[in-house]
A and B are shown apart, each in its own frame.
Chain A
Amino acid sequence: MLCVQFLWILSEVQTSYIVSSVGHMCLSTVVMAKVLGVTCAGDQSLFTSLYTSLAQQLPKEPMEWRRSYGRAPKMIHLEANFVQFKEELLPKDGNKALLTFPFLHIYWTDCCDTEVYKASVKEDMQRWQNILRLHSSVDWLIVVVESDAKKKNKTNILPRTSIVDKIRNDFCNKQSDRCVVLSDPLKESSRSQESWSSFLTKLRTLLLMSFTKNLGRFEDDMRTLREKRTEPGWSFCDYFMVQEELAFVFEMLQQFEDALVQYDELDALFTQYVLNFGAGDGANWLGSFCAPVRSWNGLLLRRPIDMEKRELIQRGEASLLDLRSYLFSRQCTLLIFLQRPWEVTLRALELLHNCVQELRLLEVSVVPGALDCWVFLSCLEVLHRIEGCCDRSQLEANCSHTVGLWTYATEKLKSLGYLCGLVAENGPTSEDLNRTVDLLAGLGTERPETVNSMQSPYKKLKEALSSVEAFEKHYLELSHAAVEMYRAIGRMRSARLVGKSLAEFYMRKGDPERAEGFLEESLRLYVAEGWSLQVTHTRKQMAECQKLLRQTDDYLQTSALLAGDANLNQEERTHFCQEILSFASQPPGPSDQTVALSMAAFAQLRQLQFSPPGAVVHVGAALQLELRVRCLMPVAVHVGQLAATLHFSLEQGGARGRAGSSQRRPGQGPQGQGDGVVLFPQGSPLSGAGCSLTPALELYEMQDRSPSDSSLNSAGVVCKNVHLLLRRHDSNASLDTPTAGVLPAAVAVDDGAQMLRARDVTLQPGDNSILFTAPTGEPGSYTLRQLCGSVGRVQFVQSHIYPVVQYEVYSQEPQLTIEPLSDNLLAGIPQRVKFTIATGHYSIKKGDALQLSNTDSMPILHSSRCSATILSSTGEHMGERALSIQSSEKVTSISLPPTPPYHTLEFQLEVLCHIPPAPLKLDSERLTNGEVRHRSKSRSHADSAMIHIDQKVSIDCPWSIYSTLISLTFYVPFKAKHTLLSAGRRKYIQVCLQNVSDSNFHLADPVLVERQPTTTVELLSLNAKRQQLVCSQQSLFCLWEMRWAKDLPPCLQCEFSASFVPISALDPPAAFKTYRYEFQLDRVSTLYSVKAEICPASGDKHCRTGTLCGLEVSITRQAEPSETEGEEEESTEIEGLKTTKLMYEVVDNSSNWAVCGKSSGVVSMPVAPSATHRVQMEVMPLFAGHLPFPNIKVFKYLPHSAAQVIQPDTDSCLENDNLSLLDKGLDDQGDTASIRSRGSVHSVGSGEQQREQQRGLPMPRLEPFSPGQVFNWTQGRQVLVLPATDDHVMEVNVT
């Protein structure tokens, strides 16, 4: 059998591979076509005829690839590279090449003739098998192709199975699947397709099996090799080649992830070695990587495989940068296959950082600037590579991934520029030029890939290093690109940092104008976010910039801030302080004005203390302010003048004159601090940012009350620090920011305004205390507005003093108040009252006196020993002065001791208010002394209400031409009440004296006398002789019997008097005073006596409940009415007999009795002594027991008269109504009468009727008798009532 064999040797594979990969990309397609090596033996022409179908069909269906070491199975498409079998192709021992490894050996035959088979084919197969066995290759397959065409030609055809069986029998010992049949492969029949399908499945399975087995073996070998890495002579480069082969295989199978893993493992291994080297554990093979860096031409990412570098590694001649570059280029390629370009950028940045570190760690000698070149080129190369595989929109969306590389490139270019003297103002020196030449030499020649490109990194770097202008152009281009990108993705801090770097560049170039903006932006950010070191650093740069720009004001402001900056050392601070001081001491030029700077940089207000602490003083008083200031300057600074301007407002309270210090709680000044201390909030420079950015809201409640009745008009909330909250954050107007331009004109201090001033103050570093004397010339409110310290031409100004500091100056009118010492002043007893004179602006001179108009009702009891106390405006005790009091008939003059203004004079006097003889008539006014009015008003709110007397005192004060009227209220401690008592004809007078005050009294000698003594009446005292104690709210009753000789006077005027003395534990017993009570008794004598008897029902001994009893009432005339009484009592003459009409009425209010039948009636009493009238009535007891008699009332019955009819007296109308009813229906009302008597007589008859009667009919009138005129014998009498015998209802009350 003729076998045309074509052989591919390893180098050929590689060459074709390399050649195809040098063209742009497409490594995968090239390699993939020849993925797995498969050899073909046997009938070559047969194979050739089948090759096309086979090559097409094999990769069509994926196979599940199960992997060792728990790796996840994958579906892969297998492709094979079919080559003709040759013994040389079989790998010899130790050859680890995977790429050219023949994974499967196939023997093709279409032999169907047993003879032929036996003759040649078997032999050939045998030989083939022997070779395979020799190389211990077990992955083989015999394919028998059958075709009908061939069968027909042969006559002695054996059944096809026989050939296959033979082959199986001969070769496939227990491996019958190693021989497959392919039927009619070139025909389009279903049988053919079925045959193809099973064949391909078999082929794939075997191929994959072999591949997996061999790959596993390869990996094991590789691991073994790796484990030997600690042995001497182990070479990283050799190992690198082995593992890379694995990576290539994965890449061929399009398993890029797995391929990447191989490179990452190599990367990590190498990194670990470098780190170990750094830790002192060096490996021999690392020595080759420590060679000095001679070439720094950057990464090359435009080739899939950089064969130059690979060969260097293979030869063990690669430098660290070569190895890293090659490794990264492979990773980059794979990542781009995996469509992860942004990972490339991140890894690139990491790689570049890492390489720089590794070279440092391995102590590789590098020409200065060489690494900068390498990094710069690499950054740009990566960026170009990424730009090559992404479109613009993708790039813009992923700025955050690329901006790091841009910035890194910018930094490196900048440092190259500094290194090569391209930033200096004078251009590069010859030394710089030499260095540049050396650096350019290390770049070598440009790579062929980019020679034709205009914008290659290589060209850029060369150009940038060629001249100052070109460098500037490239540097600015890169910087601005970086800033723009940072801005676009919102990384403002990074943008500012690049900007600051630009500012430094401009400063080096001597272009402060352009630097200023960048510095300002950065500074604002750092100030806003409170990064003090950056603030200090940037501020220093700013100062330099401003000095160059001759911005004197700004420079001085910045200097002030720097002089007070704790981050700087003393020397630097002193320098900046001296800058200010030397400017300040320069004589001002004609056009120069003073320079106003922010106080905040110069000094901090710590606290301010008022003395006196209340911060409220009267006009002309001394008020001192102690200001504590922390000076931030490093040296003592002499301040020519430290002044605080005052805002004066004529506050209402100030103008009107304050009512005195009592209205203002002591020590509570406008500052609300108890001790008169105002503390200024401290923003420490470190934490200042958070606080100064958003100051806390300071809210206060505001209430607007109506001045007249202090009712609430409106209420609201006021923000006190609105000027801090609402100011624009970006505005430069605030003096706090050092970048402030021109200060507002308001800063100019007006000398005319009132101010606190301290001259020639030397402020030491740290805390200083400055004492100001506040102007208190005019009453009003003074608010501190600005603070200004002048140092030569420089003024340090604080435009707002916060919190608000203010003090008040008031002017006060002199004022006299008189107030009782106790709660209530009692009339009749000496009482102490306190005189208080607030002098106000008036100064009491010697000889000034108070003139009190005397009143009879209230004498002033002065003793010789009387002194006044003088108090200062702050309540301090200033001393005691004697007080002289002279009394004349009309006035009492109190000579006052000399007292300075705004002091208080206090003394006490005793006064006595006489009790007017009671009862006092309502609203009786009596003018005493022409002008003093004594008015007393009796108010009776409750039973304990005291009668009070308002006593007005008129006082002439020395400071006023008008008299001052002062009202004092005295309370009468007693209340008296009199009663006339009768017993038959005998009469008694009872007086009840009630102590309504809160004090206890002793009472003695109650006396009752007639005011106009008559001989006829004698008053016989029935009272105890000794003193009686009457406690608060208790009463004393006194009784007198009246005796008279013949006739009683119709009217008796009496006066009751008793002596009383207050009982006090403290004071010695005082003298008794007399309380008088006048009253008048009219109609004293008894005219009628009423007797009543209750008789039980007949046959009964006692009354029983529910049984009618007889009530017999007898009215007897006791005395003839006197002249005067007769007038009142209407008498009529009937047939010569003079009678008086009386009406009686039996009422039982306690519901003990039911009056049955007639309960009232009118009787005519003859005007004769002892005339008696008897009336019989029936009553029924409702309860058992001793029941009091029902009330029997007797009235005068006056017939109608014209005048009386009109009188709309409701009471009498009702009585009329009753009477008419009673008169008419006394007999025929038996049933209802009892009810009526129990209830109310008034209920009968409607109101309508009443009015008609009132209008139409003349009505008789009822008039009660005066107490004592009718004596009721039954008063207090009781009658025994037994319970009814047949009571079947028992009432039991349990309480």
Chain B
Amino acid sequence: MAVCIAVIAKENYPLYIRSVPTQNELKFHYTVHTSLDVVEEKISAVGKAMADQRELYLGLLYPTEDYKVYGYVTNSKMFRKLHNSFTDVMCNPFYNPGDTIQSKAFDGMVSAMMVQAS
């Protein structure tokens, strides 16, 4: 189960970010932000090596002692669900691409994917 889910715009600002143990929110934000280094690296590597074969799975990005950060994984159901929900958000005519995501449906879906805070 995920403890933190973030959707990042291509300009590297967060479109959506949510983490479950809220007291550690800042730490998660730092972690997610730092792992963008690896995302950039992997994306540019993909761009160079195989331009047409767009692999969405970036795999393990940034292992830390406590958590592992994965980049967009299509081959697991979890990320497919996230992607579908994200697509729905993008299809909303009232959503302005680039704005932070405030969709309740998306939020609910993300909550279902997260560790249930007890």
A, B: real partners: yes
Q: Does A1009 contact B (CB under 8 A)?
A: no
List of B residues within 8 angstroms of A357 by Cβ? 65-66
* Given A491-B38, A537-B26, A689-B11, A531 contacting B33 (CB threshold 8 A): yes
Q: What number of A-B contacts does a CB cutoff of 8 Å give?
A: 67
Q: A533 with B26: in contact, given A357-B65, A687-B98, A689-B11 (CB under 8 Å)?
A: yes
Please tell me if A693 contacts chain B, counting CB pairs below 8 Å: yes
Contact B13 A531 (CB under 8 A): yes
Contact present for A494 and B26 (CB under 8 Å):
no
A510 to B66, CA, bound (A): 30
Interface positions of B from 1 to 52, Cβ below 8 Å from A: 9, 11-14, 25-26, 29-30, 33-34, 36-38, 40-41
Residues in A with CB closer than 8 Å to B75 are none
Q: Is the CB of A534 within 8 A of B13?
A: no
Chain A CB within 10 Å, residue with most, of B9, B12, B36 = B12
The CA of A1266 and the CA of B100, in the complex, are separated in Å by 97
Q: Within the complex, what minimum Cβ distance (angstroms) separates A571 from chain B?
A: 17
CB <8 Å contact, A531 and B63: no
Q: Does A686 contact B (CB under 8 A)?
A: yes
Q: Does B53 contact A (CB under 8 A)?
A: no
Instruction: Tell me whether A690 and B9 are in contact in the complex, defined as CB-CB below 8 angstroms, given that A356-B65, A530-B14 are known contacts.
Output: yes
Indicate if the CB atoms of B26 and A531 lie closer than 8 Å: no
Q: Are B37 and A492 in contact (CB under 8 A)?
A: yes
| B118 contacts the other chain (CB 8 A) | no
Tell me if A's interface is mostly helix, strand, loop or mixed.
helix
A795 to chain B, nearest CB (A): 31
With A350-B63, A400-B41 already in contact, the answer to whether A690 and B33 are too (CB < 8 A) is no
CB of A349 within 8 A of chain B? yes
Which residues of chain A in 1227-1286 are interfacial with respect to chain B, using CB atoms and an 8 Å cutoff? none
CB distance from A296 to the nearest CB of B (A): 16
* Beta-carbon contact of B29 and A531 below 8 Å: yes
Q: Is the CB of A687 within 8 A of B13?
A: yes
- Cross-chain contact A494 with B37 (CB below 8 angstroms): yes
Which of B25, B26, B34 has most A Cβ within 10 Å? Answer: B34
A666-690 interface (Cβ within 8 A of B) = 684, 686-687, 689-690
A529 contacts which chain B residues (CB < 8 A)?
Answer: 11-13, 33
- Shortest CB distance B44–A (Å): 9
A815 to B63, CA, bound (A): 81
Measured between beta carbons, the chain A residues less than 8 angstroms from B26 are 533-534, 537
- Number of A residues near B (Cβ < 8 Å) is 31
| Residue total for B at the interface (Cβ-Cβ under 8 A) | 23
Chain A residue at smallest Cβ distance from B29:
A533
What is the CA–CA distance of A53 and B65 in the complex, to the nearest angstrom?
57
Given contacts A534-B30, A687-B98, A687-B100, contact A493 B36 (CB under 8 A): yes
Chain A residues within an 8 Å CB radius of B99 = 687
The answer to whether A534 touches B33, judged by C-beta atoms less than 8 angstroms apart, is yes
Render B46-69 as a binary contact track against A, CB cut-off 8 A, 1 for contact. Answer: 000000000000000001111000
Binary per-residue interface labels of chain A (478-508) against chain B in the complex, 1 for a CB within 8 Å, 0 otherwise: 0000000010011111100100000000000
B83 smallest CB distance to A (angstroms)? 21
Within 8 Å CB of A693, what residues of B?
11
Within 8 Å CB of A497, what residues of B?
A: 30, 34
- B81-97 vs A, Cβ < 8 Å mask (1 yes, 0 no): 00000000000000000
> Chain A's nearest CB lies how many Å from the CB of B99?
6
Write the chain B residue with the least CB distance to A694. B11
For the complex formed, measure the closest distance between the CB of A532 and the CB atoms of chain B, giving whole angstroms.
8
- A residues less than 8 Å from B37 (CB atoms): 486, 490-494
A428 to B28 CA separation, bound complex (whole angstroms): 31
Cα A353 to Cα B66 in complex, Å, equals 7
Q: Which residues of B contact A537 (CB under 8 A)?
A: 26
- CB contacts (< 8 Å) of B33 on chain A: these are 493, 526, 529, 531, 534
Q: Which residues of A contact B38 (CB under 8 A)?
A: 491
Q: Give the Cβ gap from B8 to chain A, nearest Cβ, in Å.
A: 9
Q: How far is the CA of A1223 from the CA of B9 in the complex (A)?
A: 106
Taking a contact as CB atoms under 8 Å apart, the answer to whether A533 and B25 are in contact is yes
Give A407-460 interface residues, CB cut-off 8 Å to B. 408
A-chain residues with CB within 8 Å of residue B41 when the two chains form the complex? 400, 489-491
Contact between B11 and A353 (Cβ–Cβ < 8 Å)? no
B81 CB, min distance to chain A CBs, angstroms = 24
Q: List 25 A-B contacts (CB under 8 A).
A: A352-B65, A353-B64, A353-B65, A357-B66, A404-B63, A408-B65, A489-B41, A490-B37, A490-B40, A493-B33, A493-B37, A526-B33, A529-B12, A529-B13, A531-B13, A531-B33, A533-B25, A533-B26, A534-B30, A534-B33, A537-B26, A687-B98, A687-B99, A689-B12, A690-B9
A350-B63, A490-B41, A690-B11 are known; give 11 further A-B pairs, CB within 8 A: A353-B64, A353-B65, A492-B37, A493-B33, A493-B34, A529-B11, A529-B13, A531-B29, A686-B100, A687-B100, A690-B98
Residues of A within 8 A of B (CB): 349-350, 352-353, 356-357, 400, 404, 408, 486, 489-494, 497, 526, 529-531, 533-534, 537, 684, 686-687, 689-691, 693
